[in-house]
Structure 1
């Protein structure tokens, strides 16, 4: 396997662990900071919102930087944010520290995906993106469960969730060493304004594809943000059992992510998106029943992991196919959309918990995922009709360069 892509995956593993680990330690965080679980869930919301808002801003600001500098800078900011989370005493300050960590993720992940696309020929884009995204899904299989276990057992004198944040900090620093050692020099791009970087949203094909990401990921994370209480009947309140379930979900996510890369290169994005999104919607609709037992929870999490993570690669592949010359910008917009979805889902889940039993959150997720399937088909129709000329979204700095028509639907 390409060591350059593995270096990028190592970084996304650290980012992914930071993104997902809080869900597994949420009750401990709430008790320690003396806030309700729904309020503690906003730690994920703030992280995601900072990521979403800052992704296009940082992409514009750092566009001309060498890619290695952007990636290392992102990991440094991520580590600093986690150190602050580990040491700050109050809920308000911890909340602010999650925004700092989110800024680090906003710098790193889109740059990593864009670098992966730049390192391989067009016919290997799907597999390259899958390897980088495997870092994120691998974090669910290893990083988040280990972090959850550390939080429940403690390290030395640290017997609560703060030990978990030190663990994430170490991951970020190790990833920085890997990126510095293995990633080749990749030059930056031309400096573009924030308005120019947001311009592709005006293309209906891009907008519909991003809407798919927003709806599907909102549905998925409405449950994930509160996974510890959605599956409490299956876990019996045990942090170790929850960690094991998250690990099973993560292994399925890695498998789904890697399989999606090969299938996308072979069949294109549409067929894979239809199957993955439809199965995810059915899985979430049944979750009020399946989450009641350990066996049912395992089955639900396997389907969720494979299908939910199986959506990410074809979505990126579809965007790159719309306008290959704008791959870094489109991937950054998709990454921002993912974290907008995460932030929306945290709030949506908190609101739903005021009127619904936690075990019914899957129904809310299923509805949003089905809307995402409609958006995905709309994007397919728009791409096939080629209603928007690719040249129309080539930015001022690239006006003399026209993207080839998309063949990916």
Structure 2
């Protein structure tokens, strides 16, 4: 049986989300140089991450409602153009205040591109390939963690932090070129009033999925964010951290595609319960290995198992959201993305309290509890999937 070839525009969406993921995470690796150049503290420089994330989280649902009626191609190209210009301008920013404004603009543009990318992947996919198309978009964010982010940080170390923003702008421009040449003319959602566009906010199924995404973000990203503290507790140093993060990233890419295949094969409900439940159990397993002082190879095997479920999570949850709100998919997806960013913020704060308080060994078990609650929230039954018309 001949394998289905993925369209070229899907590669453009992958490159776009690779640029977004790099822009989101790379600033953390540039803070010392950026702070020294702009004559501010490292903590103040770190607020650039907060500004980007908050603008993204708050802007995603608002922009989705506003832009949902417009053709997808026009929206995503305009969002990418704004993203590219904001990053080029950031490379020339003369002062911290200007850079803050530009990071907010980049975050808002990234929210538009991200929401539209998932909507485009779902709308342009064949009926039995929606999950796999969504997994390609997710894979761009995953690949950014172990390619775009370290490469961006490396470029910044060699040529200065401003060069990293130029690199991100170039990657975003490449995505624009590919999508401009290959993306078909996909219509926006049918004409509807504001009340109908806001209907996902009144849909209990959508809200339960958003809660599940938020709780999954709390659990998964708490464990990921404080892996260094767990490794330090385990072997009194963090020299293994880069290799562990590489392991997580390398496993993450095929895992994202696995999540898409599960969504296509089993549908939204069954696939999300498999992945969310497996994620919770994997966290308990890894927490037990850390608590027992397991040998490093066994510990790495446990982290590898966790990585499979952690990165397979997004496609089933996004597919489930589209099933639940076929009349306003972009709005519903944007709520999911906002939920994930909210979960990221909670994960950082709660994880820090655990590490500084009772100790890092609590992190995987509290994270597992968050995933168990996510499983409960996502366990409702949905009607048969509705195909989003192109």
- Whether these two folds match at TM > 0.5 is yes
Counterparts of 2:286 and 2:179, CA distance in 1: 37
Any idea what the Cα deviations from partners look like across 1:345-400, whole Å, max 9, x if unmatched? 445556667x449x82x7346424522322322331x326xxxxxxxxxxxxxxxx
Counterparts of 2:354 and 2:194, CA distance in 1: 35
CA shift, 1:322, in A, is: 2.4
Q: Please tell me whether the aligned partners of residues 78 and 100 of structure 1 are also in contact (alpha carbons under 8 angstroms).
A: yes
RMSD across aligned C-alpha pairs, in angstroms?
Answer: 3.5
Any idea what the Cα deviations from partners look like across 1:86-132, whole Å, max 9, x if unmatched? 33354444333221111111111111111111112322111111112
- The 1:276/1:96 distance shift into structure 2, 3 A limit, reads same
Aligned counterpart, 1:15: 20
- The 1:175/1:228 distance shift into structure 2, 3 A limit, reads farther
Aligned residues: 376
- The 1:63/1:302 distance shift into structure 2, 3 A limit, reads same
Q: Please tell me whether the aligned partners of residues 142 and 247 of structure 1 are also in contact (alpha carbons under 8 angstroms).
A: no
CA shift, 1:220, in A, is: 3.0
Q: Please tell me whether the aligned partners of residues 189 and 327 of structure 2 are also in contact (alpha carbons under 8 angstroms).
A: no
Any idea what the Cα deviations from partners look like across 1:203-260, whole Å, max 9, x if unmatched? 222222111111111233345557777767989788xx86665443322211110111
CA shift, 1:17, in A, is: 1.4
- The 1:257/1:287 distance shift into structure 2, 3 A limit, reads farther
Aligned counterpart, 2:342: 340
Other structure's SS at 1:122 match: coil
Task: Confirm or deny that 1:379 pairs with 2:381.
Answer: no
Q: Please tell me whether the aligned partners of residues 41 and 346 of structure 1 are also in contact (alpha carbons under 8 angstroms).
A: no
Structure 2 runs not aligned, ≥5 long: 1-5
Counterparts of 1:293 and 1:21, CA distance in 2: 32
Aligned counterpart, 1:72: 77
Structure 1 runs not aligned, ≥5 long: 385-403
CA shift, 1:6, in A, is: 1.7
Show the 5 A alignment for 1:8-407.
8-30=13-35, 32=37, 39-152=44-157, 154-155=158-159, 158=160, 161-192=161-192, 196-222=196-222, 224=224, 245-267=244-266, 268-269=270-271, 270-280=273-283, 282-283=285-286, 302-348=304-350, 355-356=356-357, 360=360, 363-364=362-363, 366-380=365-379, 382-383=380-381, 405=384
- In terms of mean alpha carbon deviation, does 254-263 or 187-196 score higher? 187-196
Counterparts of 1:196 and 1:366, CA distance in 2: 40
Other structure's SS at 1:65 match: coil
Counterparts of 1:282 and 1:141, CA distance in 2: 24
- The 1:12/1:87 distance shift into structure 2, 3 A limit, reads same
Using the size of structure 2 for normalisation, the TM-score is 0.82
- In terms of mean alpha carbon deviation, does 20-29 or 118-127 score higher? 20-29
- The 1:32/1:204 distance shift into structure 2, 3 A limit, reads same
Counterparts of 1:92 and 1:363, CA distance in 2: 38
Q: Please tell me whether the aligned partners of residues 264 and 272 of structure 1 are also in contact (alpha carbons under 8 angstroms).
A: no
Counterparts of 1:367 and 1:222, CA distance in 2: 9
